[in-house]
Structure 1
Amino acid sequence: MTRIAAVDGVLPAHRYHQREITDAFAAMRRPGAGAGAGAGAGAGAGAPERGRGMLDRLHAAACVRTRHLALPLERYAQLDGFGQANDLFIEEGLRLGEQALRNALDQAGLSAHDVAFVFATSVTGIAAPSLEARLAGRLGLRPDVKRVPVFGLGCAAGAAGLARVHDYLLGHPDQVAVLLSVELCSLTLQRGDISTQNMVAGALFGDGAAALVAVGRNHPRHQEYAGPEVVAGRSRLYPGTEGALGWDIRDGGFGIVLGAELPELVRLHVGEEVRSFLSAHDLKPDDITGWVCHPGGPKVLEALQETLGLSADSMEFAWRSLAKVGNLSSASVLHILRDTLDLRPPPPGSPGLMVALGPGIGSELVLLRW
């Protein structure tokens, strides 16, 4: 089986308490402004005074205490349009992505030249050449490295990326593959959008990157690593849910689509999907000793706990990550996997499950063996 050799998560240096971000949102409101990629300091920023109460309530209800932002908080008011925000995404994304990947390779005791395959994901910026191509020379990746840069899987891409790394290593069992996630959510939010969904997004999302290194079953160092094995993955699209989550691409950049029905869709579809997937491997939710769940928001986590009959302790690391750094889109599950391995690794040989949702709506499930 594929073995996870190392996983690392990194965050920008600019850390703020939720109240600081809320106040900055309110101060930067620009009635009628439609352009400009706002920031961690931008969601709800078009809200008039009468919307301040709603802004405060939404930010307080997000269960987020602190977040890290790509830029100093005061710089977000100076951003001028999607182009500038995307340039900053590339600049900061390269810095964080390089740091995450170097750290993970160092932890695994491997070099960039050992890497045969890179799955790179982001849904918060656009780059061509893609980020991993721009990093190849800096890191020393091989000229023949296989690359799959992905945009559009959104928050599900951390789990989907691990599953695709596993698929690759099943066919190339003596090789090394890496997963790279870079998400700078703060550079996407729209200052001129006074909608509730934009204010909710501005209350939840933070910035960060993560990298995971994995080796195939025939790699000479496979048995040396203490990380879990990847047993199997399952992807599922739920018809008729396309309008519940994603981007509305505008002249000013990425406009959030975040339907209020998302928690109910989790209850309707995801619990049954998880049980079906586990049953195919002769398992039940109660058998899982390590839940690595994307922290889509408090209502999504509560819906997942409810539909699977889980205790709050089962998702302790998801709740903790949401509080400390917010929703990091595809990077969140990798940060949570790292925390699980570092702080409370499950018993060897026991099953774990990674769960994430993204636009589609689609779910991504990855069965692990610790």
Structure 2
Amino acid sequence: MSRIVGVSTALPPLSYAQAEITEQIAPMIVPDPAKQGVLRRLHAGSRVDRRHLVMPLERYLEPWSFSQTNGLFIEAATDLAQEALVAALSQAGIAASEVDFIVFTSVTGVSAPSIDALLVPRVGLRTDVKRMPMFGLGCVAGAAGIARLDDYLAGHPNGVAVLVAVELCSLTVQRDDDSMANLVASGLFGDGAAAVVMVGDELAARIDSAGYEVVGTRSALYPHTRDVLGFNPGETGFRIVLTAGVADVIDANFGADMTGFLAEHGLAVGDVQRWVAHPGGPRILEAFSEALALPDGALELSWTSLAAIGNLSSASVLHVLADTVRESPAQPGELCALFALGPGVSAETVLLRWSGDPE
């Protein structure tokens, strides 16, 4: 089994209280003061206390074009990606020159060459490193990225693979757009990055580094949900598609999918000690918990992450994973389920087990 030996996060240095963000951007998004009450109620109900932003708050009031915001994305995303990846490699005790495969994911900006290519000289990756940039997976990409690293390492048991996720969601908020999707998104999403370092099973057996091993993965794409969640590119950038139907998709599918996945490994919900859920928003986390009948507190770290930094799209579930590893060390053999949803609507689930034999 491949093993996660490093996971690290990075956030822009600028951090603002949710109430401050709301007061500043409300007139920009909803010019009519009579309609701003809806935005304020949505922001207040998001369960987000603070968010990190890539620009000073007042700069969001300026009339940015898509080319300008995307140019900023390339510059800032590369910086955050470098910070997260260097920290994750250091944590793993692995040199950049040892990396064989890199996956980069984002849905909040585009670049050719992709950000992973820009990292090669900056971080010291080999020029023959295999690269796979992924775009379009959105919030599910953190979980999907771990699964794709596992796929690669299954065929390269002595290999080193890394995942880098960067999302600058604040750059996608639309001016003068009082659609419900934009109102919700403007109070929910933040900016940040994360990186994961994994090694193949033969290399894992030779190095003295505990970590979560990948027991299994599952992908799901739910039909007739295209218009539930996603982005529509336009002249002013990426306009978010976000409906209340996401929770309905979870209600209809997620419980059966997760229990079926666990059953394939001879397990039930009660056998899993830790749950790493993408903090998509209050209703999403509630739907996850209800679908699995989880005990109170099972998703506490996801709720804490949502409050502290908001929803970081693909990077969010990796932030929760980093918090899980850092705040409460696992015992040998302990099981963890990591999962997220994204556009499609799609789902990715990864079953993890802490290395070592149970005592």
> TM-score category by the smaller chain?
over 0.9
- Give the TM-score, by structure 2 length: 0.97
Using a 3 Å threshold, how does the CA distance of structure 1 residues 356 and 47 change in structure 2: closer, same or farther?
Answer: farther
* Alpha-carbon contact 1:184-1:207 (below 8 Å) kept: yes
The percent of aligned pairs where both chains have the same amino acid is 51
Report SS of the residue matched to 2:265.
coil
Tell me the residue number matched to 1:21.
21
Give CA-to-partner distance per residue, 1:260-312, whole Å, 9 cap, x none: 11111111011111111011111111111110100110001001101110123
Tell me the residue number matched to 2:213.
229
Of 80, 99, 113 in structure 1, the residue corresponding to residue 83 of structure 2 is: 99
* Alpha-carbon contact 1:289-1:346 (below 8 Å) kept: no
CA distance in 2, matches of 1:320, 1:223: 33
> 5+ residue gaps in structure 2?
355-359
Of 42, 45, 48 in structure 2, the residue corresponding to residue 58 of structure 1 is: 42
* Alpha-carbon contact 1:3-1:225 (below 8 Å) kept: no
Tell me the residue number matched to 2:306.
322
Tell me the residue number matched to 1:200.
184
Give CA-to-partner distance per residue, 1:4-37, whole Å, 9 cap, x none: 110001100010000001001123x2xxxxxxxx
CA distance in 2, matches of 1:158, 1:172: 21
Tell me the residue number matched to 2:357.
none
Tell me the residue number matched to 2:333.
349
CA RMSD of aligned residues (A): 1.0
> 5+ residue gaps in structure 1?
30-44
1:20 maps to amino acid:
E
Tell me the residue number matched to 1:73.
57
Of 163, 177, 182 in structure 2, the residue corresponding to residue 179 of structure 1 is: 163
* Alpha-carbon contact 2:144-2:348 (below 8 Å) kept: yes
Of 226, 233, 251 in structure 2, the residue corresponding to residue 249 of structure 1 is: 233
Tell me the residue number matched to 1:9.
9
CA distance in 1, matches of 2:38, 2:71: 32
2:70 maps to amino acid:
N
CA distance in 2, matches of 1:323, 1:267: 23
1:259 counterpart = 2:243: yes
1:358 maps to amino acid:
G
| Runs of 4+ deviating beyond 2 Å | 220-223
Instruction: Report the number of matched residues.
Output: 354
1:211 maps to amino acid:
A
CA shift for structure 1 position 188: 0.8
1:119 counterpart = 2:103: yes
Give CA-to-partner distance per residue, 1:144-163, whole Å, 9 cap, x none: 10000000000000000000
Of 253, 268, 274 in structure 2, the residue corresponding to residue 269 of structure 1 is: 253
Q: What pairs with 1:137-216 in structure 2 (closer than 5 Å)?
A: 137-216=121-200
- Give the TM-score, by structure 1 length: 0.94
Tell me the residue number matched to 1:218.
202
Report SS of the residue matched to 1:313.
coil
